[in-house]
């Protein structure tokens, strides 16, 4: 796993609170938040160095605001799709839930989606390597730290990733307003839910890989639900049918 740099109180706090992290926390200045980060780092057995402003800005830029974490985090690391599917196979679970995000670029949407993924027990989230919101302070803040704990998979090609999921016995459900009512579908077994981007929805190549297209029955007057709200509704219906939580 490669070292990554994290800036912003929420991002650093979430990574320090994860199960396994090693590295160095660089601090400059004083204040309650910086003291809290130092205490977290000590509890996580992460080295702390107090440096001058020039060093902080060199490490983290203007967004650092007095704190930069240079670390390797097992919870924040990304899996390969092959490794993620191998883990599912080793578990031998007949049911599984994977969330595939087709170029979600808004950090607040991504953070809210990851929070729902955590709450509904998503096995892992698939993200494209390009044109997707990264693991930023805004994502970690909106996710309430879930972005540091939800397992994520980076892929170069989403359509190819969906083919791999199909080979692992997943049924692919794409979210679109023109689809079938989600509560009319049978959602047991291995399910992969694909959510499209904020502006254009599912891309053509991704949509072609979907076995079924589903929608949330609604009766409002606005165009559609926000993608992060939709994620929560879809995930609830899937986990309800799979009887994951009681």
Is 176 domain-assigned?
Answer: yes
Tens-place pLDDT, residues 194-228: 998 877 888 999 999 999 999 998 876 666 788 89
Higher pLDDT, residue 215 or 140: 215
- The angle subtended at Cα 65 by Cα 148 and Cα 144, nearest 5°, is 25
Q: Which of 52, 73, 94 is the last residue of a domain?
A: 73
Does residue 131 lie in a domain region?
Answer: yes
Closest residue by Cα to residue 174 from 133, 132, 145, 216: 216
Higher pLDDT, 181 or 72: 181
The answer on 10 and 115 residing in a single domain is no
Question: Does residue 137 surpass a pLDDT of 80?
Answer: no
| 62 and 128 together in one domain | no
**How many other C-beta atoms can be found within 10 angstroms of the C-beta atom of residue 19?**
10
144-199 per-position pLDDT tens digit: 767 777 888 989 899 999 999 999 999 999 998 888 999 999 998 999 999 988 77
Q: Which of 53, 73, 93 corresponds to the end of one domain? A: 73
3-state SS class at 242: coil
Question: Do 129 and 32 fall into the same domain?
Answer: no
Same domain, 24 and 145: no
Query: Does any domain span residue 193?
Result: yes
Of 43, 73, 103, the residue at which a domain comes to its end is 73
In a domain, 92, yes or no: yes
Tell whether 105 and 149 lie within a shared domain. Answer: yes
Q: In what order do the strands lie in the sheet with 190-195?
A: 78-79, 152-155, 124-128, 96-101, 190-195, 170-181, 212-215
In percent, the amount of the chain with pLDDT more than 90 equals 46
Cα angle for residues 244, 18, 122 (degrees, 5° grid)? 25
Looking at the structure, do residues 120 and 212 belong to the same domain, yes or no?
Answer: yes
**Number of independent structural domains in the chain:** 2
CATH number at residue 57: 3.30.1330.30
Give the torsion sign (CA, 172, 177, 179, 182): positive
Q: Same structural domain for residues 55 and 119?
A: no
- 67 and 82 together in one domain: no
Give me the domain span that covers residue 69: 4-73
The CATH number of the domain holding residue 84 is 3.40.1280.10
User: Are 122 and 154 in the same domain?
Assistant: yes
In a domain, 246, yes or no: no
pLDDT at 223: 62
Looking at the structure, tell me whether residues 61 and 94 fall in a common domain: no
pLDDT of 74 over the 60 cut? no
- How far apart (Å, rounded) are the C-alpha atoms in residues 244 and 229? 20
Q: 118 with 197, same domain? A: yes
Q: Sort residue 151 into left (φ over 0), alpha (ψ -120 to 50) or beta.
A: beta
The Cα–Cα gap between 166 and 210 comes to 10
Whether 170 maps to a domain, the answer reads yes
181 falls within a domain = yes
Residues 63 and 99 grouped into a single domain: no
CA separation (Å) from 227 to 69, 102, 127, 230? 31, 11, 15, 5
Query: What are the residues whose beta carbons fall under 8 Å from the beta carbon of 52, sequence distance 6 or more?
Result: 28
């Amino acid at each position: 796993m490669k070292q990554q740099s994290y800036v912003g109180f929420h991002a650093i706090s979430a990574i320090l609170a994860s199960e396994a992290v090693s590295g160095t926390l660089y601090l400059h200045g004083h204040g309650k938040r910086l003291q809290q980060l130092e205490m977290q780092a000590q509890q996580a057995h992460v080295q702390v160095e107090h440096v001058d402003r020039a060093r902080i800005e060199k490490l983290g830029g203007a967004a650092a605001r007095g704190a930069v974490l240079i670390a390797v985090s097992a919870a924040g690391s990304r899996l390969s799709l092959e490794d993620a599917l191998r883990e599912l196979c080793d578990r031998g679970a007949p049911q599984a839930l994977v969330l595939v995000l087709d170029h979600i670029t808004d950090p607040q949407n991504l953070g809210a989606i990851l929070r729902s993924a955590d709450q509904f027990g998503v096995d892992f989230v698939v993200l494209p390597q390009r044109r997707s919101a990264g693991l930023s302070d805004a994502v970690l803040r909106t996710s309430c730290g879930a972005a540091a704990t939800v397992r994520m998979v980076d892929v170069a090609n989403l359509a190819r990733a969906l083919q791999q999921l199909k080979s692992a016995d997943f049924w692919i459900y794409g979210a679109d307003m023109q689809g079938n009512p989600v509560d009319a579908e049978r959602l047991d077994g291995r399910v992969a839910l694909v959510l499209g981007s904020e502006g254009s929805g599912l891309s053509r190549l991704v949509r072609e890989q979907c076995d079924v297209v589903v929608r949330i029955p609604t009766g409002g007057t606005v165009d559609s639900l926000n993608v992060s709200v939709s994620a929560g509704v879809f995930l609830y219906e899937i986990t309800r049918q799979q009887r994951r939580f009681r």
